[in-house]
Amino acid sequence: MRYISAGDIEKYSYCPLSWWLSRKEKHVESEGVKKHRKIGKKAEEGMKEIKRIREFERDVLYFASGATMVSLVGVAMLYSSYAIAIAFHITAIFWLLAALYLLWNSGRYETLWSEAYHRMMVVIPIIATLLSILSVSFLIEPNYFLGYSLEIASLLWLIVATFFFYKMLKSEIRYSKIRKELHLPDGEIIYVDDLERSPILKSEKYGLWGRPDILLKVGEDYIPVEIKTGRVPRGPHFSHIMQLTAYMLLVEENYKAPPYGLLKYGSYIFRIDYDESLKRILLEKVDEMRKALETGEVHRNHNRPGKCRHCSRRDICPERLE
């Protein structure tokens, strides 16, 4: 099956003959492409900040949890109690049973709740192990030197956790500033139109490929964003809607079906809901394009002189309107 790009779908939806003529053009870096590159670089900065935030979150969790556990073990070194040891031991058993339950139901939970499931599978056994260590610690005879040393160590770990928390807040502030500069809604930038950093999205089922300008993760949804650098229209153009629909289909094939996509003109954003009727129109256009490629017969599909006047391929178009 011959693959068709989302960019070609946009050109075809604007005018089939204009798309056909564009296939013979040499690539020239237009002003719009330069603007897209600037936007892409800014979006890349935002994506880097998101990665830093996640790394700092992990460090905060690691050092804060470590400080808590070291502090508790230190307390156990200062004070022994059979009753507390039994309580920790019973609690550890419950956490271990929870881990076994998740492992037993891994197939079902992994498909329905993949990201949260994996986190729980890591965290719960760790908690069970630490509680077991605490239960044993409270049975050991008091060791004041070791106890106080552990308390000092826990304070040092807490200071490190606070440092990483500060770094995380700084990254969140920088990301929020970038998001406002790009006029993007709430969400995490996880994909930018950059061949070196982001893979091409493909659909083997429909023979489509493309790279959305930005892919946002909003909650559990993946939202493609298509950015247009020209003038702001009264409403989104049909050709742009078709291009965005192609991206939504690609997101569906590679991640999950998005509830909507975003068309961005300057600071104005139009929300395009993704449904079966829109998908059907897109696939009809794709079928028309494949037939055109087979037959080599393509014609203008409109009678709008204004549209022809603004077409960049007007000078070489055999069917242009005067």
Domain closes at, from 163, 181, 199: 181
Element (DSSP H or E) covering residue 272:
strand 268-273
pLDDT tens, residue by residue, 273-297: 999 999 999 999 999 999 999 998 8
Question: What 3-state DSSP class applies to 45?
Answer: helix
In a domain, 322, yes or no: no
Give yes or no: residues 43 and 57 share one domain. Answer: no
Question: What 3-state DSSP class applies to 138?
Answer: coil
C-alpha span between 87 and 135 (Å, rounded): 8
pLDDT tens, residue by residue, 149-184: 989 999 999 999 999 999 999 999 999 999 998 888
Q: Which residues are 265's β-sheet partners?
A: 228, 268
Going from the C-alpha of 207 to that of each of 1, 110, 252, 261, the distances in angstroms are: 6, 28, 14, 20
- Residue range(s) defining the domain that contains residue 303: 4-47+187-316
Predicted model pTM:
0.76
30-66: b or e for each residue (b if 16 or more CB lie within 10 Å)?
eeeeeebeebbeebbbbbbbbebbeebeebbeebbbb
Confidence of residue 140 (pLDDT cuts 50, 70, 90): confident
Give yes or no: residues 175 and 192 share one domain. Answer: no
- Number of domains making up the chain: 2
Nearest CA to 36 out of 201, 196, 193, 186 is that of 193
In a domain, 321, yes or no: no
Give yes or no: residues 150 and 195 share one domain. Answer: no
pLDDT at 111 exceeding the cut of 50: no
Domain closes at, from 155, 181, 207: 181
Domain closes at, from 114, 147, 181: 181
Q: Are 45 and 182 in contact (CB under 8 A)?
A: no
C-alpha span between 130 and 137 (Å, rounded): 10
Give yes or no: residues 226 and 278 share one domain. Answer: yes
